[in-house]
Chains A and B, each alone.
Chain A
Amino acid sequence: MSHLIDIKQHKPLLDIKQLNIEGYDGEHWKPIVNNIDMTLKRGEVLGLIGESGAGKSTLGLASMGYAQTGCRLASGTIDFDGMDLMGLSDKEKIKLRGSRISYVAQSAAASFNPAHKLIDQFAEGPVQHGIMSYKDAVEKAIDLYKRLDLPDPENIGFRYPHQVSGGQLQRAMVAMAMATDPDIIIFDEPTTALDVTTQIEVLVAIKDVISEMNTGAIYITHDLAVVAQLADRIMVLRHGNLVEEGPARRMLEHPKKEYTRRLLAVRVAGEEKLRQKKDPDVVLEISNVSAAYQKNINIVDGINLKVKRRKTVAVVGESGSGKTTVARIVTGLLPANAGRITFTGETLSPDLASRDRDCLRRLQMIYQMPDVALNPRQKIKRIIGRPLSFYFGMKGKQATARIKELLSMVELPEKYMNRYPAELSGGEKQRICIARALAANPELIICDEVTSALDQLVAEDILKLLQRLQNELGISYLFITHDLATVKAIADEIVVMYKGRIVEQGIKSEILKPPHHDYTELLLSSVPEMDPDWLDNLLEERAA
Chain B
Amino acid sequence: MLTLIKQSPFSARVGLLIIMINLSAILLAPYIAPYGETEFVGDVWDTMSYEHLLGTDQLGRDMFTRVLYGARNTITIALAIVMLSFTVGCTLGFVAATLGGWVDQVLGRLVDVIMAFPTLIFALMVLSVMGTSIPTLIVVIAILDSTRVFRVSRAVAMDIEVMDFVEVARLRGEGLWWVMRYEILPNAMPPLIAEFGLRFCFVFLFISSLSFLGLGIQPPTADWGSMVRENAGAISFGIYSPMYPAAAIAILTIGVNLVVDWMLNRSSLLRT
Whether the pair B272, A387 counts as a contact (CB closer than 8 A) is no
Chain A positions 383 through 415: 1 when the CB is less than 8 Å from some CB of chain B, otherwise 0: 000110010000000000000000000000000
Chain B: minimal CB distance from A21 (Å)? 23
B101 within 8 A of A: no
> Is A451 interfacial (CB-CB < 8 Å)?
no
Decide: A390 near B173, CB < 8 A? Known: A375-B183, A375-B186: yes
Given A333-B167, A422-B272, A375 contacting B172 (CB threshold 8 A): no
Decide if A376 is an interface residue (CB 8 Å cutoff): yes
- Is there contact, CB below 8 Å, between A360 and B272? no
CB distance from A536 to the nearest CB of B (A): 41
Q: Is A7 an interface position by the 8 A CB rule? A: no
A368 to chain B: closest residue by CB: B164
Name the contact of B164 in the complex, choosing from A367, A378, A386, A422 (C-beta under 8 A): A367
A365→B173 contact, CB < 8 A:
no
User: B156-181, CB under 8 A of A: which get 1 and which 0?
Assistant: 00000001110110111110000000
Given A376-B187, A422-B272, A365-B168 contact (CB < 8 Å): yes
A201 within 8 A of B: no
Cα–Cα, bound, A360→B169 (Å):
11
Nearest residue (CB) in A for B184 is: A375
Are A390 and B174 in touch, CB under 8 angstroms? yes
Collect the chain A residues with CB atoms within 8 Å of residue B183's CB: 375
Chain A residues near B173 (CB-CB < 8 A): 355, 357, 360, 390
Q: Which residues of A contact B168 (CB under 8 A)?
A: 365, 367, 373, 436
The 0/1 profile, CB within 8 Å of B marked 1, for residues 435-465 of chain A is 0100010000000000000000000000000
Complex Cα–Cα for A371 and B164 (A): 9
CA distance A355 to B168 in the complex (A): 15
> In the complex, what distance in Å separates the CA atom of A421 from the CA atom of B272?
10
Mark out the residues of chain A between 289 and 317 whose CB falls within 8 Å of any chain B CB in the assembled complex: none
* Beta-carbon contact of A371 and B171 below 8 Å: no
What's the least CB distance linking B270 to chain A, in Å? 8
B residues in contact with A333, CB < 8 Å: 167, 170-171
Cα separation A371 to B272 with both chains bound (whole Å) = 7
Tell me, rounded to whole Å, the shortest Cβ–Cβ distance linking A2 to chain B.
Answer: 57
Q: Are B171 and A331 in contact (CB under 8 A)?
A: yes
Tell me the complex Cα distance, A286–B164, Å.
Answer: 24
> How far, in whole Å, are A421 and B187 apart by their CA atoms in the complex?
13
Docked CA distance A374–B165 (Å): 5
Does any Cβ of B come within 8 Å of A8's Cβ? no
Total B residues in contact with A, Cβ cutoff 8 Å: 15
Q: Are B171 and A372 in contact (CB under 8 A)?
A: no
Residue of B nearest to A440 (CB): B172
| Central interface residue in A355, A360, A375, A390, by most chain B CB within 10 Å | A375
Query: Which of these, A355, A376, A386, contacts B272 with CB under 8 Å?
Result: A376
Which residues in A have their C-beta under 8 angstroms from that of B272? 371-372, 376, 421-422
Does A278 sit at the interface, judged by CB under 8 A?
A: no
Nearest chain B CB to A437 CB, angstrom units = 9
With A371-B272, A375-B187 in contact, do A390 and B164 touch (Cβ < 8 Å)? no
Measured CA separation A352–B172 after assembly (Å): 10
Q: Compute how far the CA of A374 lies from the CA of B183 in the bound complex, rounded to whole angstroms.
A: 10
- Is B171 touching A352 in the complex (CB atoms < 8 A)? yes
CB neighbours (8 Å) of A386 from chain B are 172
Judge whether A369 is part of the interface by a CB distance below 8 angstroms.
Answer: yes
Minimal beta-carbon separation of B3 from chain A (angstroms):
11
Taking the closest CB of chain B, its distance from the CB of A439, in whole angstroms, is 10
| Of A332, A357, A360, A372, the contact of B165 (CB 8 Å cutoff) | A372
CA distance A440 to B165 in the complex (A): 16
Say yes or no: A373-B165 contact (C-beta < 8 A), given A378-B186, A422-B272. Answer: yes
Q: Indicate whether A373 sits within 8 Å of B171 (C-beta atoms), given known contacts A378-B186, A422-B272.
A: no
Decide if B171 touches A377 in the complex (CB within 8 Å).
Answer: no
Interface hub of A355, A369, A372, A378 (most chain B Cβ within 10 A): A372
Q: Which B residues are CB-close (under 8 A) to A369?
A: 164
Find chain B residues with CB under 8 A from A352 CB: 170-171
Q: In the complex where A375-B165, A376-B187, A377-B186 touch, is A390 in contact with B172 (Cβ < 8 A)?
A: yes
B residues less than 8 Å from A365 (CB atoms): 168, 171
A377 to B164, Cβ gap below 8 A?
no
CA distance A375 to B161 in the complex (A): 11
Residues on the B chain within 8 Å of A377, using CB: 186-187
- Give chain B residues whose Cβ lies under 8 Å from the Cβ of A357: 173
Q: Report which residue of A332, A390, A440 has the largest number of chain B beta carbons within 10 angstroms of its beta carbon.
A: A390
Q: Which residue of chain A has the shortest Cβ distance to B160 in the bound complex?
A: A375
In the complex the two chains form, is A372's CB within 8 Å of B187's CB?
no
Find out whether the CB atom of B171 lies under 8 angstroms from the CB atom of A360.
yes
Are A360 and B164 CB-contacts (below 8 A) given A375-B186, A422-B272? no
Given the complex, which residues of B lie within 8 Å of A378, measured CB to CB? 182, 186
Contact call A372/B163, Cβ cutoff below 8 A: yes
Residues on the B chain within 8 Å of A436, using CB: 168
Set of chain B residues within 8 Å of A372, measured between Cβ atoms: 163-165, 272
| Complex interface bits, B200-215 against A, C-beta within 8 A gives 1, otherwise 0 | 0000000000000000
**Distance in Å: Cβ of B22 to nearest Cβ of chain A:** 30
Bound together, the chains give a CA A387 to CA B164 distance in angstroms of 16
A385 to B85, CA, bound (A): 34
**A331 CA to B168 CA, complexed, in Å:** 11
In the assembly, what is the distance between CA of A440 and CA of B170, in Å? 14
A355 closest partner in B (C-beta): B173
User: How far apart are the CA atoms of A387 and B170 in the complex, in Å?
Assistant: 12
CB-CB contacts of B93-107 with A at 8 A, as 1s and 0s?
000000000000000
Which residue on chain B has the smallest CB distance to residue A375?
B165
**Contact yes or no, B174 A373, CB < 8 A:** no
CA distance A377 to B167 in the complex (A): 16
Given contacts A378-B186, A422-B272, contact A373 B170 (CB under 8 A): no
CB neighbours (8 Å) of A422 from chain B are 272
| Contact bitstring B221-258, A, C-beta under 8 A = 1, else 0 | 00000000000000000000000000000000000000
Chain B hits for A360, CB < 8 A = 171-173
Q: Report the Cα distance A360→B170, complex, angstroms.
A: 10
A327 to chain B, nearest CB (A): 11
Shortest Cβ distance from residue A353 to the other chain B in the assembled complex, whole angstroms: 9
In the complex, how many angstroms separate the beta carbon of B271 from the nearest chain A beta carbon? 9
Find the A residue at minimum CB distance from B189: A377
Of the A-B pairs whose beta carbons lie under 8 Å apart in the complex, a sample of 18, sorted by A's number, is: A331-B171, A333-B167, A333-B170, A352-B170, A360-B172, A367-B164, A367-B167, A369-B164, A372-B164, A373-B168, A374-B165, A375-B165, A375-B187, A378-B182, A378-B186, A386-B172, A421-B272, A422-B272
B positions within 8 Å CB-CB of A: 163-165, 167-168, 170-174, 182-183, 186-187, 272
Q: A332-B171, A386-B172 are in contact. List 4 more A-B contacts (CB 8 A).
A: A365-B171, A372-B163, A375-B182, A390-B174
A interface residues (Cβ-Cβ under 8 A, vs B): 331-333, 352, 355, 357, 360, 365, 367, 369, 371-378, 386-387, 390, 421-422, 436, 440
When A and B form their complex, which 6 residue pairs have the shortest distance between CB atoms, in order from nearest?
A377-B186, A373-B164, A375-B165, A372-B164, A360-B173, A376-B272
